[in-house]
Chains A and B, each alone.
Chain A
């Protein structure tokens, strides 16, 4: 069965869709009430809100799908801000003609991910547009979380000598999505790193007290994220090429496409900036967690004016700037 325009007209078909697809999967009392807004109890601490819209093609890729990604992305944005994610809302735009089974799969994937993260999906919306007005399915998620008063992450806390840590291999999400999109087979050990991080981050923040700042290096990759950090914090960041974890196949595939792993999206990675003293213990702690075995210190912070440098394996220093459009070769 396919999605019809009538699924979005607010009538019987719409109600049926909500009941059978969304309520059945998300299974939350707030949704079941079918009110205009979810009314939630107040929780302690300051509140964090984030929103994100997902338009990724293809809808399914090795290691995930658009639904998992939409929930993960929002949860991780809250988590790296130092908040405990609590609630999520979802908004769909569906293209007329989308297979209902496809939609169900995606919705179930969202439900699973939210459950795993201990997050409730408390409100939602669906619109159906005419065929050709959108590409299959878009989804927006908004997340709400709460911060413990004692956790204060800020650019201002970053100091000379601090270490930059990542919890595993880079560019895996972008590479598997690209390969899928270009219909190029990759070996089974390359898949999207799409993964919720709130549990891990919660443990890290409980265990360690010199984590200055965190970001998830999604769109733009670690280079863009670190460049933003360096500029805001008015410091320089020095990365060591040889200590940045990256799967050889990821590197090889990107190379042939003329893409740089440092600029490629990750969906289950966090960049931590922490004191030199705690950095090795943080890495050891991460490595003990399944899936985080490749965690590593990848660089350090020095006084500066907002640059990101990469010490290459041949001994040179590269400047990692923001990516400027299609890179035009210089070499001859």
Chain B
């Protein structure tokens, strides 16, 4: 026993380290334990309300070694943002211990995201331990987290693993600080844990070798519904077009692309062109879907037209549970792994839901009894400009926090709890407590009661976990948004209407921690504007509190409203009519262009003639739709954004030089971008048999120049030179890199989304941050910049 009064040659010291970062649910405390033992230090480590506190005592030299190793030896997904070091009085501990979690209701608690299965666990399932072939294995470095948590702090009793009593062997490992499964809450083995249950297409339980049975179904072009981490996948052979065609028919999904799951990174490389950044993200513990370009081999050997009709890139992910890995043992290199739901409905959560919803869609089910508490779809990403872009931020990312900028004079303890409600399309919501935002998983399009209920229950769950009572709600004032309508019925809440495009702008500002006014180029499909019309090609200026509209696209008439959005050929007619300004002339052009719509055209022309009132949209998305239809690339849209994607994906990244191509002419008059002459140019090029490839390039170039000219004009009025890009259209990587290059050449600093989706999945962040700044302007006297 050390004699604390006498001390050693170097007198011992005691240090307290407060660590923030990704430090919970990722095996951080056992890691600290092992590190302390290595450095012969005593003391403790404990989870305290989201942070980890370490106190170590011993030789100063050892302490130094420990503090140097702490960040550098940590394995992902763990990561440290900040360590606060304080020397404190010695106590004279004689051992190093892991203290039980301290929950403090008042302070914020973070909780971990779901993690892909780790290498060690994969070795286990191939080896001779009791985990051999165990499809639900996990350890402190991997496995489900967010999807199984009912309440906090994150302990086994508060997860859906509470139903499983640990066997002796598991208990040993759970209690042994030196073991990889020390305090791994989802730990389980074939003796004590849940097991895979095979159920046939009619719902009968089978007592079969499930792996062999399911592989046979897949080999015979059938589909299996497989329970994963945050939901179910429908899985079939991705190398056989018959299998995919059958699945498309059953799922009533004509053209929307399917995601693939590849056996391993080698299989990915066999079929896809892949760079280091893409490889890194594919293999990360988040294991998102990454859009990749098929290589020549894939073009010859894969039914790409069935997997992703008309698109140049395919979504690919790696297996992220042991069960997925086992499926590949005797299966093909690539499987279709699409979310197991009926179109438009939330992904199935319980076994019963899956059996009920998916029974007509799959020939068999691989289920298990580990309950999914929270559904999370697979996340979807791609790499452009060397950066990861997130199209759908869900499994693996949620509930990781996003730090947000706070008004200077705001006392951090006085920050109200804020909800950004999100939009009705691609909904996510966002809860802000303190200086962090938590974005929810992807909820989806609120087009039915089921998704609306998913929104409410997810909101209840997440705010419960955060122990957050909502004080302020930022919502989209679109009069038809169901979420906005329902939330507004709440009592005792402060409401902040945040216009759609302002929310987009604020989201991009927030993730880059921008606090001074910016110029915002917001290009998207549909958002409710201040003037009661739909917007979507807007150059705004402003800050979190207010915004002003400087430049916008000349509004496009939408015959039939939503009908136009689903039928880009109707937009094409509208654009052509804007150019000809004459029904007869328009009729002549479009009856030649769209003989297939001979019978419907009069109905559209009649609306354009003004025989009924019409919705208009100053939307870039609609411009893409219309041009795509004029070029016959996509006249009817089978899913959101199809027409734009089909068109822009025709371009090659390599041959897109922002300055070299000729563009179409356009005018900006009184802040309105007039596109008549561009339509004239496109029609002229078609008449002169220019290739659609050339026309598409010129069109993109023209759009980039509209943005450049609009931004310069805005700069002249405001002197602002920071530009943010937001809105779903910025998922178009060609437009993004071209516009960015043009603006940067003129000396603007340009920011685009990297942490949240540029589409409507990101607006909840903007709503929340905007609301926070507005709330504090109303409630704390701070100096806000002007707006209109």
Question: B-contacting residues of A (Cβ < 8 Å)?
Answer: 181-185, 252-253, 255-258, 309, 312, 314-319, 324, 326-332
Contact = CB atoms under 8 A, between A and B. Distances in A.
Interface in B514-570: 524-528, 534, 536, 558-567, 570
B600 interface: yes
A328 B602 contact: no
Contact of B448 (A181, A317, A329): A317
A255 B560 contact: yes
B424 interface: yes
B252 interface: yes
A330 B563 CA distance: 12
Contact of A330 (B448, B526, B570, B728): B526
B722 to A, nearest CB: 26
A316 B478 contact: no
B342 A316 contact: yes
B479 A184 contact: no
Name A's interface SS. Answer: loop
A182 B607 contact: yes
A258 B570 CA distance: 12
A28 to B, nearest CB: 40
A253 B599 CA distance: 10
A257 B342 CA distance: 27
Contacts of A184: 602-603, 606
Contact of B603 (A257, A312, A327): A257
B449 A316 contact: yes
Given A257-B559, A327-B480, 11 more contacts: A256-B570, A314-B342, A316-B342, A316-B345, A317-B449, A317-B450, A318-B447, A318-B449, A329-B526, A330-B562, A332-B527
Contact of B534 (A182, A316, A328): A328
Contacts of A318: 447-449
Interface of B: 252, 342-345, 357, 424-425, 445, 447-451, 478-482, 524-528, 534, 536, 558-567, 570, 600, 602-604, 606-607, 611-613, 615, 617, 621, 640-641, 728, 759-760
Contact of A328 (B252, B561, B604): B561
A237 to B, nearest CB: 14
Contacts of B641: 332
30 contacts: A181-B611, A182-B603, A182-B612, A184-B603, A184-B606, A256-B567, A257-B559, A257-B560, A257-B607, A258-B560, A312-B448, A314-B344, A315-B345, A315-B357, A316-B342, A316-B345, A316-B449, A318-B449, A319-B482, A328-B534, A329-B480, A329-B558, A330-B480, A331-B425, A331-B526, A331-B565, A332-B621, A332-B640, A332-B728, A332-B760
Contacts of B447: 316, 318
Contact of B425 (A183, A185, A326, A330): A330
Given A183-B606, A184-B606, A257-B603, A328 B448 contact: no
B603 A256 contact: yes
A254 to B, nearest CB: 9
A257 B604 CA distance: 8
Contact of B560 (A185, A256, A316, A328): A256
B338 to A, nearest CB: 15
A319 B424 CA distance: 14
A193 B47 CA distance: 71
Contacts of A317: 448-450
Contact of B615 (A252, A253, A309, A328): A328
The CB with the most chain B CB atoms within 10 A, among A252, A318, A328, is that of A328
Contacts of B607: 182, 257
Nearest to A179: B603
Contacts of A331: 425, 445, 525-526, 562, 565-566, 640
B559 A256 contact: yes
B606 to A, nearest CB: 4
A331 B641 CA distance: 10
Given A182-B606, A316-B344, A258 B561 contact: yes
A198 B345 CA distance: 43
Nearest to B424: A330
Name B's interface SS. Answer: mixed
Q: Which 8 A-B pairs have the closest CB atoms?
A: A332-B525, A316-B448, A258-B561, A258-B560, A317-B449, A332-B526, A182-B606, A315-B342
A317 B449 CA distance: 5
A257 B564 CA distance: 9
A184 B640 CA distance: 29
A181 B480 CA distance: 28
Given A185-B602, A257-B603, A326 B449 contact: no
A93 to B, nearest CB: 25
The CB with the most chain B CB atoms within 10 A, among A185, A253, A256, is that of A256
Contacts of B345: 314-316
Given A184-B602, A257-B563, A332-B728, A314 B478 contact: no
Nearest to A317: B449
B309 to A, nearest CB: 20
A329 B562 contact: yes
Contacts of B528: 328
Given A182-B606, A255-B563, A258-B563, A326 B615 contact: yes
Contacts of B562: 258, 327, 329-331
Contact of A316 (B450, B480, B567, B600): B450
Nearest to B560: A258
A318 B611 CA distance: 30
Contacts of B524: 332
Contacts of B559: 256-258
Nearest to B476: A330
A330 B560 contact: no
A6 B482 CA distance: 56
Contact of A327 (B343, B561, B570, B728): B561
B480 A326 contact: no
Contact of A329 (B252, B445, B561, B728): B561
Contacts of B536: 332
A314 B342 CA distance: 7
A258 B603 CA distance: 11
Contacts of B425: 330-332
The CB with the most chain B CB atoms within 10 A, among A257, A329, A332, is that of A332
Nearest to B446: A330
A221 to B, nearest CB: 17
Contacts of B558: 258, 329
A328 B478 contact: yes
Given A181-B611, A184-B606, A332 B560 contact: no
Contacts of B564: 258
A184 B603 CA distance: 6
B481 A330 contact: yes
Nearest to A312: B448
A316 B447 CA distance: 8
A184 B534 CA distance: 27
Given A183-B606, A257-B603, A328 B479 contact: yes
Contacts of A316: 342, 344-345, 447-451
B594 to A, nearest CB: 13
A119 to B, nearest CB: 35
Contacts of A183: 602, 606, 611
Contacts of B603: 182, 184, 253, 256-257
Contacts of B565: 329, 331-332
Contacts of A329: 480, 526, 534, 558, 561-562, 565, 615, 617
A253 B559 CA distance: 12
B732 to A, nearest CB: 14
A319 B612 CA distance: 26
A324 B489 CA distance: 17
B354 to A, nearest CB: 13
B449 A309 contact: yes
A288 B611 CA distance: 40
Contact of B563 (A182, A256, A314, A319): A256
Contacts of B480: 324, 327-330
B613 A326 contact: yes
A182 B342 CA distance: 38
